[in-house]
Amino acid sequence: MRQQKLIALLAVLAAVALAIIGWSFLQPREHAFIAATADPRATDAAMEVLEDGGTALDAAIAAQAVLTLVEPQSAGLGGGAYLLYWDERARKLTAYDGRETAPAGISPDIFVDIGGNPRPFMDAVVSGESVGVPGIVAMFAMAHEEHGKRPWSSLFGHARDLAENGFTVSPRLAALIDWSPGLERMPTAQAYFFREAEDGSMQPLRAGDELKNPAYAETLRKLAEEGPEVFYTGTIAQEIVRTVRGAPTRAGSLSMSDFRAYRPLKREAICLPYRVYEVCGMPPSTSGGLTSLQILGILENFDMSAIKPGSADAVHLISEASRLAYADRDKYIADPAFIDVPVKGLLDKAYLAERAKLIDMNQAMGRAPAGTPPEQTGALAPDASLEIPSTTHMSIMDRWGNVVSMTASIEGPFGSHLMAGGFFLNNELTDFSFLPEIDGVPIANAVAPGKRPRSSMTPTMIFNGDGSFYAAIGSPGGSRIIGYVTQSVIALIDWDFDMQSAIDLPRHVNRNGPTELEKGTALEDIAGELANRGHFVQIEDMTSGLHGIRKTEKGYEGGADPRREGTVLIGHPGQ
């Protein structure tokens, strides 16, 4: 009997031990958390949420609420975003499309003058006609419902405190206020950013000045207390509509019905094997993920690891691959709800190998023609719509290994220059082609009611061969974004750079035109050699804003682009 009792007791203890062990295996293992954003105050806001047990998605919302205030030239609640979310426990990557949409009342020839020519770009930008329905708040609401842990109402306090109590104008913000040619044309923006001097002139704010924004604080209060619905059916939407329809330059047609009709979209991320990794990005409506993966797929046919970073060979090869990918981008990529984008054909391995054969290491090809990928049907005319380089990117990981890679924008700088609720409204509709067709052949990215304009935003994640997370990265920079991000991915994978070193690399971009080299860097030294190979070289300022995080054998690392004002912070549970 005693032996039986002992056996029974051991069985119970074993069952308890197995239950405890099993329970521990089921719990997400906590580790370091990390945030890299475009402004130290936004990084601080993200870290507060992460330290308080929030997810990467919670932290992204808090960070963007701050960026709307302190980096208003780049992104904000009045714009849109693309977000990749890696769910570590489910081992699942989800793509969220929060791109703006054109109002129902828009005309296909809205950006065409009476002579049939494209209107001057800045005239179209600084107006109510350029404003699309903002998508970022709805996108956040959708993603938060699925991946948030902290209450929605708790995520706006940091930004609201800054708006009420004041924040310091940064050097970059001050420089862009001084530069922007349209702010003085919009009364609300002028009153916000300019002060009357002793001589009666209006002078822009300077770096170090303190700025308060009570209107934005009230917007954040409404969002926290009334939820995201207030942005699309309540007083915030009403104020945006009044502002757009009453714009002092070219009023827009945006309406409350456009806001009620807006829906963020959950899409399937697109991925491509590259060396022993898998690189994943956003599908259309942005062109960023698809074009970046095409460049990598073409370069898969070359041994990039054997080529010196920053050499003429490296710049030549990446530029030629970029020409080919940008040519396809300009012809085929637009909102897939309106255009049948041949995604599988553009990423077809055999197709990319054929495109790679067009590259001659000794001679630049000049302007590359678009290819004919498998599954492509119908005639389309190429379009290279202008995109102004003003956007933001953040990369965030929480203690459970969930990751956000998000690029957001109002276009800009300062979007349409119109303000409502204390924030700037986008001018994303100028990302459409100004012309609906060329010689009777339609353009994929033409204007249409309800359509999402093509973007170049390229939030990216990289995974190891076993499917585990490796890195996340992205950048602002208009249509150069694709080049910035792809070059950094090559540095991480082919050249074994750490994240900060990959971000620090001198930038070079080819958008199927000139080969652009970053001014003031070592790349200027190879300009002559590139010219001898047939490149038309331009030396340019390139203000990328790359922010990335990476998992290594030693732990986690992050990087923030020194060309802007961003920071990266790493924390640990219990600290």
Q: Provide the residue ranges of all domains of the chain, joining segments of one domain with +.
A: 38-266+392-431, 269-389+446-571
* Bridge partners, 419 (sequence order): 424
Coil, helix or strand at residue 211: strand
Other CB atoms within 10 A of residue 24 CB:
9
Note the helical H segments in 382-497.
481-493
- The Cα 497–Cα 495 span in angstroms is 6
- The Cα 351–Cα 325 span in angstroms is 12
DSSP 87: E
H/E element, 548? strand 547-552
Q: How far is CA 149 from CA 362, 397, 569, in A?
A: 55, 14, 21
- The Cα 505–Cα 320 span in angstroms is 19
Q: Tell me how many degrees the CA angle 291-295-296 measures, rounded to the nearest 5.
A: 115
The pLDDT, as a whole number, for residue 386 is 60
The pLDDT, as a whole number, for residue 376 is 73
The pLDDT, as a whole number, for residue 114 is 87
- Say if residues 70 and 42 touch (Cβ distance below 8 Å): yes
- Determine the residue type at 207: A
- The Cα 56–Cα 359 span in angstroms is 41
* Bridge partners, 360 (sequence order): 363
Could you say which of 391, 407, 486, 515 is catalytic?
391
Chunked mean pLDDT (size 10), the chain, 575 residues = 43 36 40 95 98 98 98 97 98 98 95 89 92 98 98 98 98 94 88 90 94 98 98 98 94 96 98 98 98 98 98 98 97 95 97 98 97 79 65 97 98 94 97 89 94 97 97 97 98 98 98 98 98 98 96 93 97 80
- Terminal-residue alpha carbon distance, the chain: 52
- The Cα 76–Cα 392 span in angstroms is 9
- The Cα 207–Cα 188 span in angstroms is 20
Q: DSSP readout, 16-82?
A: HHHHHHHHHHHSPPP--EEEEESSHHHHHHHHHHHHTT--HHHHHHHHHHHHHHH-TTT--TTSEEE
The pLDDT, as a whole number, for residue 9 is 40
Residues in the chain: 575
- The Cα 450–Cα 254 span in angstroms is 11
CATH class, 269-389+446-571 region? alpha beta
- The Cα 57–Cα 495 span in angstroms is 31
Q: Among residues 185, 110, 100, 175, which one has the least CA distance to residue 418? A: 185
Place of tokens 């062109």: 287
DSSP 203: E
Q: Tell me how many degrees the CA angle 282-285-288 measures, rounded to the nearest 5.
A: 45
For residue 243, how far is the Cα from the chain centroid?
Answer: 26
Cis ω on the peptide bond leading into residue 413 (within 30° of 0)? Answer: yes
Q: How far is CA 343 from CA 199, 273, 277, 312, 570, in A?
A: 59, 15, 20, 31, 37
- The Cα 311–Cα 519 span in angstroms is 16
pTM: predicted TM-score of the whole model, two decimal places: 0.93
* Bridge partners, 211 (sequence order): 167
* Bridge partners, 556 (sequence order): 551
The pLDDT, as a whole number, for residue 347 is 98
For residue 43, how far is the Cα from the chain centroid?
Answer: 16
- The Cα 293–Cα 280 span in angstroms is 8
Look up 391 and say whether it is catalytic.
yes
